[in-house]
Chains A and B, each alone.
Chain A
Amino acid sequence: MTTLEDTQELVGRGNREGAALFRDWFTDLDATAKSGGLSAYVFVMGSINEILKTFDLPVVFPEINSLQTAVRRVAHEYLEEAEDYGYSPDICGYVKADVGTQLRGGEHPMAQIPKPGITVLTNACNTYIKWAEIWERMYEIPMFTIDIPGTREAGTQTWKGDSDFEGDRKYVEVQLRELITLCEEVTGKDFDIDKFREVLGHANTMSRSWNRVLELNEAKPSLFNALTDGTIYLGVANGLRGTEVGARYFERLVEEMEYKAANGIGQTIEEKYRLLFVGVPCYPIFRRFNELFTDWGGTFVNSTYLWFASGGTNRGFEYELADPLASFAEGVLVNVRDAMDSMFHQDVVLKDMAKDFDVDGIVYHPIKSCRTVSTGLADGRKHMTDALGIPSLFMESDMMDRRVVSEAQMKNRVDAFFEGLASRRQQALADPKVR
């Protein structure tokens, strides 16, 4: 039986607990920095947290640090500092905010950021490589690239049992073994395969739960805002991957969402238009950006961001603990490849997403800072329109740089988009053949 107490306790719990965990994580990083401890610098698409956690290495996600400077409206200070150092206004704002952070000795609005002792990255984004090369030069630290071959042509992904897949998987596994050796050297610890299994088990719980949380948002009304609430969940999914506390958080999040779904409890606004978000959020005006849509009753029910920025763990891939390294290599390959697909082949992803989530519109938000995500969006939109005919909005700004964010122009575009949706809905009422 549903009680008011249940509702008060459960609804919004994921946001409350996620925010608390996020603060705790930064508090830990602060302590690491102040004690001069080692940290591993990693990225959201293929953090390899499972291995790093096995070595008890605190992980720093510079992408998350950078976006936090934008959310807290101080990004411009960091960007200007990096530009004064020599970086062009035309490169990734995340990189520049991090360079600013490093030049300030780790000073950041959330915490003192520890220096890196090692950096681990994948090729999911080429800027990861250029970015890590900056730390390599600044700190003379080991830089390890896990090179993950992606999809070679749309629709030609190979899977376990295929010789091409096996070639890719072996390459990833060899690199992971080499990374383990490097971590042993950096930390002075031996690799503990049993602890690794335990970490993988927590990661499995998180992946399974994350997949379920996303799936549950197919509910009508939708249960959480993929843009805002989703970003909180993403923070935990990345920072606490492979930990017991992270796994438990996601199990409780599933519990909350199942409760909301069973009781028809939606988001805080009345859902009039169900939307998909493609791209990266506009963090310099994050709250207002979301309100541009919610003011019209638009809710984001899913996004490609929740897929690629979780490193593809949305798939729910679970590692086989009996053969942990081989299975981990398979999981890293499949997940990171999926993250790349949800950027480069976003038109394919959207076909299923639009159907499963029964959406009224798609919002494309390419950004100056990230060419990985943004380059293919205009073309993808053309093809999505041809294939699905779903109304869409294409609006460029940035995730970091307020110099290219014009709220007034955005509002005009968003208002016109919703007016179009409203008109379309009116026409559909008059003529059911129009949808």
Chain B
Amino acid sequence: MTLTATRVFAEWRDKSLDDALAECRDAVESPDFETVQRWRDEGGKVVGHFQVYFPEEIIHAAGMLPFKVRGAPMEPNLADSHFGSYLCSILKTSLEMALSDQVPMEMFVSHPICDAARNLAAIWGRNTDYPSQILYLPQNPNSSGSADYLEHEYNRIKRVTEEVADVEITEEALRESITVFNENRRLIRELYDIKANTPWLVAAEDAYALVALAGMIPREEHNELLATLIPLIKKRDLKREDRIRVVFEGGFCEQPPFDLIRMLGRTCYLVDDDFMIGLRYLTSDVPTDGSPLRQLAESYLERSSYSPVQHDLRKRKEDMLIERIRGANADAAILSAAKMCEPGLEEQVAYTHALDDEGIAYFVSEFEENMSSFDQLELQVETFVENLLFQ
């Protein structure tokens, strides 16, 4: 049995759709990341990669588990003293996972997505005894040199990965991984089509859990999960309700608490969002011909989504948001940002001005992954929604 045949999340199998979804929610909400531990129990190695995007295919092709580091619902008891004030929560809870040995890893990779996160690799490296690398994704994707550069950078990460995994990553293995991930991206797109077209068939928190699992179980297993549950979701006999269709923007890095997503899903239809956008950053299949690393690089540069932390002259963020709103046929947007998230907070200003110009309604808020009281926020969202409904 190879590692890619390893299965670590059996709880959903042979259950009704509702029970299977409940298992998915529990797995994602748990701070224990049991699936990762099971992978390790089978002798597998783990590479943690911090938000937003990472070419997981490279890790997968080495037979290791790419684990998406996206914070956790836990108190940063050990990590807190390693940081000053005025910082987002995700940095602290992510480091907490490492310091507490909650999620042992063989390597950690982060990206200079923001001023705070770009310090994380150095901090992580000072406090762990495994490689803590930075992957420099291009911040000038408009340069004619960016594809060559990124291919070279992916090749460098491949070399580091080979050392950690103690295996050679062949082009064939990379192609096979790309095929697995293409299928995964296709399935996630299918799920998002359901959210956009028939949002009453899948609750917001269930869709979220289904996607988030991709970052914590083998991708083949995630494909099996989605391929099994998506048809069942489509067959549900649920009635459409008179709800406002809303796009949520602001979940590209730190994740809103599960209960916040649940609350929003109770109040309106979340027809599109940027939760865990890195898992579906590449918007179409990565070609499997030619050099796999080149194709991954080209896909990142030419066929990808957007977030406040990637600069691309062709993708002005407010234009992309409006495209997302229109593409999902949404009535309004929730413009949120994690507390102390500088890029998210800065982008809110551009978003609000652009949506004002377009006459699109929006609701501005902030969240923190560990917030636990939503009463006031729920009241505000309900008021916002009622205003729209009775306009």
Residues of B near A126 (CB, < 8 A) are: 112-115, 118, 309, 342-343
- B residues 297-354 near A (Cβ < 8 Å) are 308-309, 311, 313, 316-317, 337, 339-340, 342-343, 345-350, 352-353
Residues of A near B348 (CB, < 8 A) are: 86, 88
> In the assembled complex, how far is the CB of residue B248 from the closest CB belonging to chain A, in whole angstroms?
19
Give complex CA distance A134, B149 in Å: 27
- A residues 143-173 near B (Cβ < 8 Å) are 143-147, 149-154, 164, 167-168, 170-171, 173
Structural contact, B143 and A164, CB atoms closer than 8 A: no
Partner of A372, one of B118, B135, B145: B118
B116 close to chain A: CB less than 8 A = yes
Residues of B near A123 (CB, < 8 A) are: 112, 139-140
Structural contact, A379 and B156, CB atoms closer than 8 A: no
Residue of B nearest to A364 (CB): B84
Give complex CA distance A116, B125 in Å: 40
Interface hub of A137, A377, A379, A382 (most chain B Cβ within 10 A): A379
Structural contact, B83 and A151, CB atoms closer than 8 A: no
Structural contact, A368 and B353, CB atoms closer than 8 A: no
Structural contact, A90 and B116, CB atoms closer than 8 A: no
A125 close to chain B: CB less than 8 A = yes
Residues of B near A377 (CB, < 8 A) are: 84
A85 close to chain B: CB less than 8 A = yes
- Beyond A126-B343, A368-B86, whether A151 also contacts B134 by CB under 8 A is yes
Residues of B near A344 (CB, < 8 A) are: 118-119, 121-122
Residues of B near A343 (CB, < 8 A) are: 119
> In the assembled complex, how far is the CB of residue A72 from the closest CB belonging to chain B, in whole angstroms?
25
A129 close to chain B: CB less than 8 A = yes
A91 close to chain B: CB less than 8 A = yes
Structural contact, B82 and A371, CB atoms closer than 8 A: no
Structural contact, A127 and B342, CB atoms closer than 8 A: yes
- Beyond A150-B134, A154-B122, whether A375 also contacts B349 by CB under 8 A is no
Interface hub of A91, A127, A146, A173 (most chain B Cβ within 10 A): A91
Give complex CA distance A151, B308 in Å: 23
A175 close to chain B: CB less than 8 A = yes
> In the assembled complex, how far is the CB of residue B57 from the closest CB belonging to chain A, in whole angstroms?
19
Structural contact, B133 and A90, CB atoms closer than 8 A: no
Give complex CA distance A87, B344 in Å: 11
Structural contact, A147 and B143, CB atoms closer than 8 A: yes
Structural contact, B85 and A145, CB atoms closer than 8 A: no
Give complex CA distance A133, B134 in Å: 24
Give complex CA distance A409, B131 in Å: 40
Residues of B near A11 (CB, < 8 A) are: none
Residues of A near B85 (CB, < 8 A) are: 368, 396
Residues of B near A366 (CB, < 8 A) are: 84
Give complex CA distance A152, B157 in Å: 10
Residues of B near A149 (CB, < 8 A) are: 136, 149, 153
A338 close to chain B: CB less than 8 A = no
Residues of B near A130 (CB, < 8 A) are: 308, 342-343, 346-347
Structural contact, B115 and A87, CB atoms closer than 8 A: no
A374 close to chain B: CB less than 8 A = yes
Give complex CA distance A255, B319 in Å: 55
Give complex CA distance A143, B349 in Å: 19
Structural contact, A378 and B83, CB atoms closer than 8 A: yes
Structural contact, B156 and A164, CB atoms closer than 8 A: yes
Residue of B nearest to A345 (CB): B122
Residue interface mask A370-395, B partner, CB < 8 A = 1: 11101111111011000000000000
- B residues 137-152 near A (Cβ < 8 Å) are 138-140, 143-146, 148-149, 152
Partner of A90, one of B122, B342, B353: B342
Residues of B near A145 (CB, < 8 A) are: 139-140, 311
> In the assembled complex, how far is the CB of residue A356 from the closest CB belonging to chain B, in whole angstroms?
22
Residues of A near B152 (CB, < 8 A) are: 164, 167, 171
> In the assembled complex, how far is the CB of residue A115 from the closest CB belonging to chain B, in whole angstroms?
19
Interface hub of B136, B340, B348 (most chain A Cβ within 10 A): B136
> In the assembled complex, how far is the CB of residue B317 from the closest CB belonging to chain A, in whole angstroms?
8
Residues of B near A87 (CB, < 8 A) are: 345-346, 349
Residues of B near A380 (CB, < 8 A) are: 122, 126
- A residues 173-223 near B (Cβ < 8 Å) are 173-175, 178
Residue of B nearest to A144 (CB): B140
Structural contact, A375 and B115, CB atoms closer than 8 A: yes
Structural contact, A379 and B136, CB atoms closer than 8 A: no
> In the assembled complex, how far is the CB of residue A347 from the closest CB belonging to chain B, in whole angstroms?
7
- Beyond A126-B113, A345-B122, A371-B116, whether A171 also contacts B342 by CB under 8 A is no
Give complex CA distance A173, B120 in Å: 28
Structural contact, A375 and B139, CB atoms closer than 8 A: no
- Beyond A145-B139, A345-B122, whether A378 also contacts B84 by CB under 8 A is yes
Partner of B342, one of A85, A91, A378: A91
- Beyond A85-B349, A127-B342, A171-B143, whether A152 also contacts B116 by CB under 8 A is no
B81 close to chain A: CB less than 8 A = yes
- Beyond A123-B112, A167-B149, A383-B126, whether A133 also contacts B119 by CB under 8 A is no
- Beyond A123-B139, A149-B153, A379-B126, whether A137 also contacts B132 by CB under 8 A is no
B127 close to chain A: CB less than 8 A = yes
- Beyond A90-B339, A378-B82, A379-B127, whether A168 also contacts B349 by CB under 8 A is no
Question: Assuming A95-B346, A171-B149, what are 18 further A-B pairs, CB within 8 angstroms?
Answer: A87-B346, A91-B342, A92-B342, A123-B139, A129-B139, A149-B136, A150-B112, A150-B134, A153-B121, A167-B148, A167-B153, A178-B143, A368-B86, A372-B119, A374-B84, A375-B84, A378-B81, A382-B81
Nearest first, the 4 A-B pairs at minimum CB distance are A174-B145, A375-B119, A171-B149, A147-B140
Q: List 11 A-B contacts (CB under 8 A).
A: A130-B347, A133-B317, A137-B350, A150-B136, A151-B134, A153-B121, A154-B126, A175-B140, A371-B87, A378-B84, A396-B86
